[in-house]
Amino acid sequence: MKAIVITKYGPPDVLRLEEVEKSVPGNIDVLVKVHAASMTYSNLFLVSGKPFPLRLIFGLLKPKLRIPGTDIAGRVEAVGGKVKKFRPGDEVFGDLSDCGRGGFAEYVSVPEDALALKPVNCSFAQAAAVPEAALVALQGLRDKGRIQKGQKVLIVGASGGIGTFAVQIAKYFGAELTAVCGAANLDLVRQLGADHVIDYAKEDFSQNGRRYDLILATRGYRSIFDYKRALNPGGIYVMVGGSWAQIFQAQLVGPWLSLAGSRKLGALTVKPNRDLAFMKELIEAGKVNPVVDRCYPLAETAEAFRYYGEGHARGKVVITVE
Ligand SMILES: NC(=O)c1ccc[n+]([C@@H]2O[C@H](COP(=O)([O-])OP(=O)(O)OC[C@H]3O[C@@H](n4cnc5c(N)ncnc54)[C@H](OP(=O)(O)O)[C@@H]3O)[C@@H](O)[C@H]2O)c1
């Protein structure tokens, strides 16, 4: 089978399209013919070997994993003897970040627990966009952020992979939603349901006097003190990702700031695959529509890494596998 292979850390050019042995499913595994796989930050980290401390997970001198790719959608080709939930022909999606990756390939063997049945009303490319990004948005808003109907919610980074899900999920929970993004994407986030929009180049959400009950920031972008200033008493700030300084602030300074008042500030760690069935329901009910920015063929995966790494995606970036 064809797969994107990585043997050393570096820029996206280190990725090679190679012919490798087809995966063989174990007893509890499902062999999936991959139709689409989406880009995620952890794959950027795996290929670049940066930030350096992540090499403690991915391998100190070179990547321990040979084929990157976490978020996939495809069709079941074969199942191991002990697989109960799936059979050949089922359309599935899932996040392989806890089970060896390998999604940027024509086939991948996956434990059945990492998969769910794909929403029937979306394409493979849209389904591949869902697993990590939608669950970060859902778990950030619902579990960490304790979102309530009628609350004033601010999503910062609203037009990217996670943000476009967060906007739609916050509206599903009945929030009054303000979305922060660049000028080119204001119409997109309005169409997804935002009640108010802020162009980050023109207006500073932390200085305009407005306050929110819940803020979700997809990549930090600002200091934790700016977010604290923009929270109502009792409000919650959830940081999803960002620079080391922002992660440090959210994980170490956040708990101290939270002790000192009624506002809660902290970071999210997503629990992969836990809510895929719930996302399938939301998508099939028409409450959430995965936004795909661009699709690249498997042979152009390096180009997809370059584009996604620039940090200005409009929804998700997807690799399609013929
Ligand atoms: N906590 C977890 O468990 C977890 C799991 C997965 C990922 N993550 C983290 O999630 C982050 C990736 O998020 P993503 O995939 O949604 O990123 P993305 O797809 O690259 O989207 C980023 C978006 O932010 C917008 N943006 C750029 N600068 C901005 C600013 N100053 N203010 C507001 N918006 C701005 C960009 O729009 P413009 O084009 O208009 O600039 C773009 O649409 C990474 O930091 C990753 O580490 C965390």
Nearest CA-CA partner of 63 in 107, 27, 16, 20: 16
pLDDT of residue 220: 79
Question: Is the C-beta atom of 178 inside 6 A of ligand 1?
Answer: no
Q: What is the spatial distance between Cα 9 and Cα 21, in angstroms, rounded to a whole number?
A: 22
Rounded CA separation 12/19 (Å): 19
Contact 283, 100 (CB under 8 A): no
Q: Taking the mean position of all CA atoms in its chain, how far away is CA 61? A: 27
Q: For residue 24, is pLDDT > 90?
A: no
pLDDT band at 244 (very low <50, low <70, confident <90, very high): confident
Burial 187-220 (b: 16+ CB within 10 A, else e): ebbeebbbeebbebeeeebbeeeeebbbbbbbbb
Instruction: Find the 188 Cα to ligand 1 centroid distance in Å.
Output: 16
Cα torsion 48, 224, 98, 50 to 10°: value is: 10
Q: Which residues are bridge partners to 3 per DSSP?
A: 18, 105
pLDDT in the model for residue 270: 96
Q: How confident is the model at residue 90 (pLDDT cuts 50, 70, 90)?
A: very high
In the predicted structure, residue 109 carries a pLDDT above the cut 90: yes
Write down the residue that tokens 């013919």 correspond to. Answer: 33
**Confidence class for position 245, pLDDT limits 50, 70, 90:** confident
Among 209, 215, 185, 213, residue whose Cα is nearest residue 198: 185
Which residue, judged by its Cα, is nearest atom 23 of ligand 1? 160
The closest residue, in CA terms, to atom 47 on ligand 1 is: 241
pLDDT at 37 over 90: yes
CA pseudo-torsion sign 189, 193, 199, 205? negative
For residue 112, how far is its CA from the centre of ligand 1 (angstroms)? 30
Q: Which of 70, 71, 181 to mutate to test the pocket of ligand 1 (most atoms within 8 A of CB)?
A: 181
CA dihedral for 96, 102, 104, 105, sign (positive or negative): negative
pLDDT tens, position by position, 175-228 = 999 999 999 999 999 999 999 999 999 999 999 999 999 999 998 789 999 999
Is the Cβ–Cβ distance between 91 and 115 less than 8 Å? no
pLDDT of residue 313 exceeding 90: yes
pLDDT at 28 over 90: yes
